[in-house]
A = this chain, B = another copy of it.
Amino acid sequence: MEFYYYTLLAGIIAIIYALFAAYITLKKEEGNKKMQEIASAIKSGSAAYLNRQLKTIAIFAVILAILFLFLPNGYEITIAFLTGAIASYLTAYLGMNVAVRANVRTAKIAEKGTNAAFKTAIIGGSVTGFAAVGFGLIGLSLLIMYLTISKVEILIGFGFGASLVSLFARVGGGIYTKAADVGADLVGKTELNLPEDDPRNPAVIADNVGDNVGDCAGMSADVFESYAVTLVAALLIAYGISHASVINFAYPLYVAAIGVISSLLALLFINVKGDNATLAIYKGIGSAVIIAAVLDFALTWYLSLPLAYFYSVLSGLVLAILLFWITDYYTGSGKKAVVKVADAAKGGGGTDVIMGLAVGLRTTWFPAVVIAIAIFVSYISAGLYGIGIAAVGMLSLTATILTIDSFGPITDNAGGIAEMAGLQENVRKVTDKLDAIGNTTKATTKGFAIGGAALSATALFVAFAQAVGLSSIDALNSIVTIGIFIGAMMPFIFSSFLMEAVGKAANLMVEEVRRQVKTIKGLLQGKAKPDYARAVDIATVNALKSLVIPELIAILTPIAIGLILGKEALGGLLVGMIPSSFMLALFMANSGATMDNAKKYIEEGHFGGKGSDAHKAAVIGDTVGDPLKDTAGPALNSMIKVVSTISILLAPVFIAYTLL
- Asked if residues A623 and B348 are in contact (CB atoms below 8 Å), the reply is yes
CA distance A622 to B348 in the complex (A): 12
- Asked if residues B361 and A495 are in contact (CB atoms below 8 Å), the reply is yes
What's the nearest-Cβ distance from chain B to residue A547, in Å?
Answer: 15
- Asked if residues B358 and A496 are in contact (CB atoms below 8 Å), the reply is yes
CA distance A384 to B347 in the complex (A): 50
The yes or no answer to A627 lying at the interface (CB within 8 A) is: yes
Taking CB atoms, residues of chain B closer than 8 Å to A572 are 475
- Asked if residues A478 and B387 are in contact (CB atoms below 8 Å), the reply is yes
Give A72-116 as 1s and 0s: 1 = Cβ < 8 Å from B's Cβ atoms: 000000000000000000000000000000000000000000000
CA distance A23 to B353 in the complex (A): 45
- Asked if residues A506 and B347 are in contact (CB atoms below 8 Å), the reply is yes
What's the nearest-Cβ distance from chain B to residue A607, in Å?
Answer: 13
What's the nearest-Cβ distance from chain B to residue A63, in Å?
Answer: 25
User: Please, which residue of chain B has its CB at the minimum distance from the CB of A510?
Assistant: B347
The yes or no answer to A279 lying at the interface (CB within 8 A) is: no
Q: Which of A27-35, A147-155, A222-230, A481-489 participates in binding chain B?
A: A481-489
- Asked if residues A465 and B458 are in contact (CB atoms below 8 Å), the reply is no
- Asked if residues B351 and A486 are in contact (CB atoms below 8 Å), the reply is no
- Asked if residues B482 and A186 are in contact (CB atoms below 8 Å), the reply is no
Protomer copies: 2
User: Please, which residue of chain B has its CB at the minimum distance from the CB of A191?
Assistant: B348
User: Please, which residue of chain B has its CB at the minimum distance from the CB of A487?
Assistant: B579
Q: Which of A296-304, A372-380, A393-401 participates in binding chain B?
A: A372-380
When the two chains form the complex, which single residue of B373, B473, B496, B502 contacts A475, counting CB atoms closer than 8 Å?
A: B473
When the two chains form the complex, which single residue of B474, B479, B507 contacts A474, counting CB atoms closer than 8 Å?
A: B474
Taking CB atoms, residues of chain B closer than 8 Å to A587 are 492
Taking CB atoms, residues of chain B closer than 8 Å to A358 are 496-497, 499-500, 503
Give A339-353 as 1s and 0s: 1 = Cβ < 8 Å from B's Cβ atoms: 000001011111101
The yes or no answer to A371 lying at the interface (CB within 8 A) is: yes
- Asked if residues A485 and B354 are in contact (CB atoms below 8 Å), the reply is no
The yes or no answer to A624 lying at the interface (CB within 8 A) is: yes
The SS class assigned to the A binding surface is helix
When the two chains form the complex, which single residue of B375, B487, B503 contacts A351, counting CB atoms closer than 8 Å?
A: B503
The yes or no answer to A364 lying at the interface (CB within 8 A) is: yes
Q: A344, A357, A628 — which one has the most chain B CB atoms within 10 A of its CB?
A: A357
- Asked if residues A496 and B361 are in contact (CB atoms below 8 Å), the reply is yes
Taking CB atoms, residues of chain B closer than 8 Å to A487 are 579
Taking CB atoms, residues of chain B closer than 8 Å to A433 are none
Enumerate A362-389 residues with CB–CB distance to B below 8 Å. Answer: 362, 364-365, 368-369, 371-373, 375-376, 379-380, 384, 387
Enumerate A451-490 residues with CB–CB distance to B below 8 Å. Answer: 458, 462, 465, 470-482, 484-489
Taking CB atoms, residues of chain B closer than 8 Å to A458 are 481
Q: A375, A471, A492, A587 — which one has the most chain B CB atoms within 10 A of its CB?
A: A492
User: Please, which residue of chain B has its CB at the minimum distance from the CB of A361?
Assistant: B496
- Asked if residues B488 and A476 are in contact (CB atoms below 8 Å), the reply is no
Taking CB atoms, residues of chain B closer than 8 Å to A182 are 350-351, 354
CA distance A583 to B577 in the complex (A): 11
- Asked if residues B481 and A364 are in contact (CB atoms below 8 Å), the reply is no
The yes or no answer to A571 lying at the interface (CB within 8 A) is: yes
Taking CB atoms, residues of chain B closer than 8 Å to A495 are 361
Give A500-533 as 1s and 0s: 1 = Cβ < 8 Å from B's Cβ atoms: 1011001100100000000000000000000000
- Asked if residues B582 and A350 are in contact (CB atoms below 8 Å), the reply is no
Taking CB atoms, residues of chain B closer than 8 Å to A488 are 368, 488, 579-580, 582-583
Taking CB atoms, residues of chain B closer than 8 Å to A499 are 354-355, 357-358, 361
Taking CB atoms, residues of chain B closer than 8 Å to A256 are none
- Asked if residues A476 and B472 are in contact (CB atoms below 8 Å), the reply is yes
What are 14 inter-chain pairs, A to B, with CB distance below 8 A?
A186-B347, A349-B620, A350-B621, A351-B623, A354-B503, A358-B496, A361-B492, A368-B486, A369-B489, A372-B482, A472-B474, A475-B480, A576-B579, A580-B583
Interface residues of A (CB under 8 A from B): 182, 186, 190, 344, 346-351, 353-355, 357-362, 364-365, 368-369, 371-373, 375-376, 379-380, 384, 387, 458, 462, 465, 470-482, 484-489, 492-493, 495-497, 499-500, 502-503, 506-507, 510, 571-572, 575-576, 579-580, 582-583, 586-587, 619-624, 627-628
